[in-house]
Amino acid sequence: MKTLQVAKERAGFTIIEVVVAMGLFLLGMTCVLGLLSFGAALTRTAALRSDGASAVEAVVADLEERMFPLIEDGGSLRAGPPVDIVDRPLPGRADVTYSAKATPDPTQRDYPGGALEYRVDVKIQWKSAGESKQKEFTTLCVREIPFSERLRRLFVEEK
């Protein structure tokens, strides 16, 4: 009978064991929540970088279409000298504007109508959380008739 009574006294957990178990549980949950918030921050950063990259791609595509106006030259069209673009809204994104200025390659002075390659300095502006932000980058553009215009002439005007 005495052995049954001793077994009943030792059947439960002590308060120290419960406190240690709760402490380990809280430590583990704190680590998991920290990892979740870190992952959320990485996801937000990746989304912002992806958004920025798509905006830059859209700016470059718009530059290729707008930088060199078409000029009629003896019944044919050719790409004219570059025009400066100032605070142009990015198509499809009203909150983003850009400005661009082209500088000709100094080694290409002998081409008719000006240089074929241009260094284009671009400044993109947008608002984030009510604050104006801007970034600058440089790209190269070739003075040519835009690809979309060539396709339009090839497939639309020949029919």
Task: Quick: pLDDT tens for 73-85.
Answer: 777 777 888 889 9
Q: Where are the domains of the chain?
A: 25-157
Which tokens is 118 given? 């241009």
pTM of the model: 0.67
Tens of pLDDT, residues 89-114? 988 887 889 999 999 887 776 776 67
Range 63-70 average pLDDT: 85
Strand ranges (E), the chain: 70-73, 76-79, 85-90, 93-104, 117-128, 131-142
**Residue 2, pLDDT above cutoff 80:** no
Residue 99, pLDDT score: 94
Tens of pLDDT, residues 13-25? 788 989 999 999 9
Q: Which of 3-7, 81-85, 123-127 is predicted with the least confidence, judged by mean pLDDT?
A: 3-7
Which tokens is 100 given? 């661009």
